[in-house]
Amino acid sequence: MSSKKQVVVIAGPSGSGKNAIIGEILKRYPNCERLVTATTRKMRPGEVDGIDYHFFSMERFDAEMSNGNIPEHRFVPSLETYYGIYIPDLERRLEEGHIVFAQVDIEGAQLLKKRYRATSIFIMPESIEQFRGRLRARNPEWSQKEFDARMKITEDELRTHAPQYDYRVINADGSLHETVSRVIEILRKEGYSL
């Protein structure tokens, strides 16, 4: 294992700003890349296989797990979908010398911390009420059932999982620039070569 730190976990509820934060860092630092995880969910309009996710059938996902290529996964019952860390994608990016940003849940964060010395950062909403409004505005196509399922997942993550991450950073509405600066400050302190 390399002595230099190369893996960063950015986690948080859907709609917390993880993608925007990672996107800003990738724009500023060409040595940074995003880990592309595997999922069994259907591709959404505008998504690209191998860029947004590795979109696998259930059979392919099972085969990759059996081969050790997906050592950690989670099933989201309310969405009937599997997600998992796809090790071949991660290893390729590390071999190329990149700092890799992974958007994974707590089990994924723990695996990456153990195997790759990852630093984990949980992106927090300013408040549940503010977050509820942001999520509804961002996803008007969601049914009430899907919205309620996502809110339940969010509340569970904030209560149970957020305290287990190395850092928690609040991403208030309109403060993306400040949030990105805070994340970069953490990574420099942790020894990443940005």
If you search the block for the tokens 């986690």, which residue do you land on? 11
What b-and-e string marks burial along 58-88, b requiring 16 or more CB atoms within 10 Å of the CB? eeebeebbeeebbebbeeeeeeeebbbbbbe
What global pTM score does this model have?
A: 0.85
- 3-state SS of 11-49 is ECCCCCCHHHHHHHHHHHCCCEEECCCEECCCCCCCCCE
Amino acid at 19: N
Task: State residue 73's pLDDT score.
Answer: 92
CA distance 23 to 30: 11
Mean pLDDT by 10 residues, the chain (194 residues): 84 88 96 96 95 96 97 88 95 96 91 96 89 84 88 89 95 92 97 92
Task: State residue 131's pLDDT score.
Answer: 84
Task: State residue 2's pLDDT score.
Answer: 53
Q: Which tokens hold the place of 148? A: 């309620």
CB atoms near residue 3 (< 10 Å): 6
- Domains detected in the chain: 7-188 (3.40.50.300)
